[in-house]
Structure 1
Amino acid sequence: MKTAGFELSDEQINAGLAAMTGTFRLFDVERALYRAGVPDEFEGKRYVASRSADKLLQRERKAGRIQTNPDNKREWLRV
């Protein structure tokens, strides 16, 4: 997966997916990507980790593996 010119490795993607357990937020996935080595800025483009986390959330939601928490729309749930 490529975000803002930065190519994420399979290990980095898996780290982001591993953060999607129970009830979680975008920040949890973003933090896991940071720890896996995804930068905040790459070649002058900002928010690489945040955009990557958002792309992973979109991908998983479209696949039906996660959904928003009906009680709190800022949280996600693993289906």
Structure 2
Amino acid sequence: MTNTEVPGTAPLDLEIDLVALRGDCARMAVHWAAPAKVHTAPVSPSLILGVTVPARSARLVDAMSDYGD
């Protein structure tokens, strides 16, 4: 059975909630360790096997000015 109850409305002062969220994140950040930066060498295209791109997707990307022109 689906719960059809509608939760209460959103808080009126979103700025205070944003400040609280940023404070929570700042306090938790010391517990998060950033992974060591991994440097990988480029892979030769001749070593990439088994990758297929549907023609429709290739045309879509080719039509995008950031990629195809």
TM exceeding 0.5: no
- The TM-score normalised by the length of structure 2 is 0.25
* Structure of higher CA gyration radius: 2
Higher RCO, 1 or 2 (CA under 8 Å, sep at least 6)?
1
